[in-house]
Amino acid sequence: MIGAAKYGARVAGVAAAAERGEPDPARDRTPEGMELVVADVTRGEVDRGRVVEYCHATVVAGFQRRSAVARLSGKAAVVTGTSRGLGREIVLAFGREGARVIALSRDMARGEQVAAEANAAGGEVVFQRGDVTQEEDIVGAIERCQAEFGGLDILVNNAGILGEGRLHETTNEQWNQLMAVHMTGTFWGCKHALVAMRAAGRPGAIVNTGSILSFTGDGYLAAYTAMKSGILGLTKAIAIDYAADGIRCNCVCPGDMETPMIDEYFAGTEDAVAAREEMESAYPGKRIAHPAEVAAAVVYLASDEASFVSGTSLVVDGGLLAKTY
């Protein structure tokens, strides 16, 4: 525990640095120090918007440093949905941690840009254009990973789309599109990764992207909620059935993140500013996550550090689900 005097001095230093727009020289740029900033913000002592921006900047700076020991060194991975948001951060994190990655996305321009960014930082990432609603594209990414990197050790099923609307207003076309991307795409990814991993006879790790909506409900996101719940159920079934093959399967379940998808959600509301404030106020730290914070959890689940972690859900939500009200 941090003593009151030391805590007060730390908060004052962080707050002053945030107001100047400078990093705090008294601490390493990691989430540990960030928690103190957020705690201070909740008491209204510092401008929340400025400090949250500062928190995100320092978090990213901390994650951008290459690890002294690459946690995914020698691993070959396929990651889907990599052109923006969480998928982008997963690719960058995997590159920093020594993994060789096939990055699958429909958006060629942004997908290639992400791969170039990862490679410029010392990673080994190959972009492949593809759509998870097309089984042959998923198979092609896995086969390319085997051909270029000698096998498949990790699959991250991350591709996703947002589906808004109350259930009685949801069209069959909207439902089917969500099903194709989230459930069928994840099913195909897991199925073909399992075939490849079992044929190679070596351990593997699958990480599926769920959500806090894998556990709760949102009436305005009814169909999306159903998909995320289904992904968690599929994750558990795979973990049980393929444990004897040395294959682990886990689900990362983030809360809201600063991604283009959340911007699209806000844009669809009557008052985007008010909607953001309402969302952020629900979180104990009065902010939503930077996707790099969630990508760090994916790295852990994919790494050998999680060798006995399987069939579980790793919630990354800043304490939101811990609340009663």
Q: Check if the beta carbon of residue 122 is closer than 8 Å to that of residue 66.
A: yes
Q: Would you call 289 helix, strand, or coil by DSSP? A: strand
| From 224, 242, 265, 283, active-site residue | 224
**CATH architecture assignment, domain 76-322:** 3-Layer(aba) Sandwich (3.40)
* Confidence (pLDDT) at 13: 52
Give the start-to-end residue ranges of the domains of the chain. Answer: 4-64, 76-322
Report the C-alpha gap between 257 and 298 in whole angstroms: 15
Structure token digits, residue 296: 């760090």
| pTM greater than 0.75 | yes
Q: Would you call 165 helix, strand, or coil by DSSP? A: strand
* Confidence (pLDDT) at 10: 43
Residue among 4, 166, 160, 198 nearest 84 (CA): 160
For the stretch 269-320, pLDDT in tens is 899 999 999 999 999 999 999 999 999 999 999 999 999 999 999 999 999 9
Report the C-alpha gap between 240 and 325 in whole angstroms: 34
**Is 224 an active-site residue?**
yes
Q: Where are the alpha helices (DSSP H) in 159-184?
A: 172-178
CA distances for 249 relative to 120, 195, 236, 304, angstroms: 30, 14, 7, 13
* Confidence (pLDDT) at 264: 87
Q: Check if the beta carbon of residue 62 is closer than 8 Å to that of residue 29.
A: yes
Going edge to edge, which strands form the sheet with 154-157? 124-129, 100-105, 76-80, 154-157, 204-209, 247-254, 313-316
Q: Check if the beta carbon of residue 235 is closer than 8 Å to that of residue 246.
A: no
Report the C-alpha gap between 309 and 9 in whole angstroms: 39
Structure token digits, residue 300: 């852990």
For the stretch 219-241, pLDDT in tens is 999 999 999 999 999 999 999 99
